[in-house]
Amino acid sequence: MAGKVALLLWAQTLGLAGAQTTQLLVEPPWRPAVLWDRVTLTCWGLGPTGATTWYKDGRRWGQKGSDRILVTRSGNYTCDRPGSGLSPPVSVLNDRLVLQVPTQTLLEGDTVTLRCRVTQDMSVTGVRFYHKEMDLGRPVSGTELSLSPLQLHHSGRYLCGGLVGSGMSQWHNSAPVTMTVHGVPLSGVSAWVQPPGGQVALGDRLVLNCTVAEGTGPRTFSWHRGGSGTPLGSGPHLELRRVGDNDSDHYQCRVSDGDSTAESVPLNVTVLVPVANATITPGPLSHQVHTGDPVTLRCSVQVGSAPVNFTWLHNGQEVAQGPILELGDIDVGHSGTYQCVATNQLGQDGHRVFWALSPELALEVTPGSPWVTAVAAGVGGSLLFLLLLLAVIVGWHRRHRLCG
């Protein structure tokens, strides 16, 4: 069961769930494999399993059939699947002395055990391990060497040597095995901003930060805006000393270790604009109304990020809140000057208040209602018409008498 688990883990490490190339898996999961371990090879790839073709030492070996075989002879084995092609070779040795390393992908920070083995009917003493022709000394456990934690410099060619046999033992060296240590793949790239929340006032300082949860080895950072491929800067931090109103956008951090690239979730930055140019409508800034007239004043700003608060002043005293001021049952006491104050709260600390004061609107309320004025005007016009009519009649009468 342990061997099968290791086999599956190795397959997942190679990314075989969506593999586009054929892979040849080994059980037990050691390389090079040795004949006396009763090695089983499994061909993984695309296409039907019944179409698997096996090769030994570059020559076709057996007929198409099962994707799993038990090895009985030493040599170099490959397999072919019609959907994904030919696999990399796997060596099965029957040497007296063999150095073996695990088949799984080795990552920086892991622990790995190298083992120096002889055929079952022989013994080995005085084992030593070598890395890039350098003697690593005698292993603590006799025939095994543990490396922990793995570093990138542990990559390279290894071999082992020892006295093989009993009595008149002879020194033998194993065939060299190349071991490659990979950096931990990048993952968990995230971006965050100061001030928190990604909201900053116009002209303030903004700092974007990028972090990586996992990943080893050298890495490079780049910052991108709105999905653009052109970088804004390099390094884990990006500073905008004085943000402008056109700096609102999505920002993203990309990290590369040379082999792979990972990106953060886009970070939304909003530049908040202070209120400015408050005005009152309707205009002009001087109004004359009569008692009882309906009067509605509205306050607005030309620029300013929401939320914007409005306060109304009558002769310098606060009388109402909100963008609209309704003056119901207007009387002479409503006369005077009106202004509105627009405010919004911005800044890195969240407590800076910006304000804009509108020009004054002068309102004059005169006694009387528009209905009474209209009636008076109508009565005056009627009297004038009657007087003119009477004058015409009198004039006509006098002329008639003179003519008679």
Q: Give the CA count within 13 Å in the CB-facing half-sphere of 153.
A: 0
Higher-confidence residue: 389 or 182? Answer: 182
Higher-confidence residue: 374 or 293? Answer: 293
pLDDT tens, position by position, 86-129:
999 999 999 999 999 999 999 989 999 999 999 887 899 999 99
In degrees rounded to 5, what are phi and psi of residue 225? -120, 130
Same domain, 15 and 153: yes
Integer Cα distance of 198 and 189 in angstroms: 18
In degrees rounded to 5, what are phi and psi of residue 335? -65, 150
> b/e for 56-74, b at 16 or more Cβ within 10 A?
beeeebeeeeebebebeeb
Integer Cα distance of 157 and 178 in angstroms: 4
Same domain, 24 and 119: yes
- Identify the domain containing residue 154 by its residue range: 2-181
Same domain, 350 and 262: no
pLDDT tens, position by position, 188-218:
999 999 888 888 888 989 999 999 988 877 7
Same domain, 213 and 263: yes
Sign of the torsion angle spanned by Cα atoms 137, 139, 140, 146: positive
Whether residue 340 is contained in a domain is answered as: yes
pTM of the model: 0.55
In the numeric block, the tokens 């698997």 are attached to 52
Same domain, 141 and 10: yes
Same domain, 14 and 159: yes
Those residues with Cβ within 8 angstroms of residue 360's Cβ, 6 or more apart along the chain or in another chain: 285, 337, 338, 339
Nearest to 99 by CA among 10, 150, 162: 162
Residue 351: the pLDDT is: 66
Same domain, 172 and 248: no
Distance between first and last Cα of the chain: 146
User: In this structure, what token pair is assigned to residue 199?
Assistant: 């909201």
In the numeric block, the tokens 């006396």 are attached to 36
Domain count for the chain: 4
Nearest to 368 by CA among 358, 356, 359, 376: 376
Same domain, 121 and 13: yes
Cβ(291)–Cβ(369) below 8 Å: yes
Nearest to 357 by CA among 307, 312, 296: 312
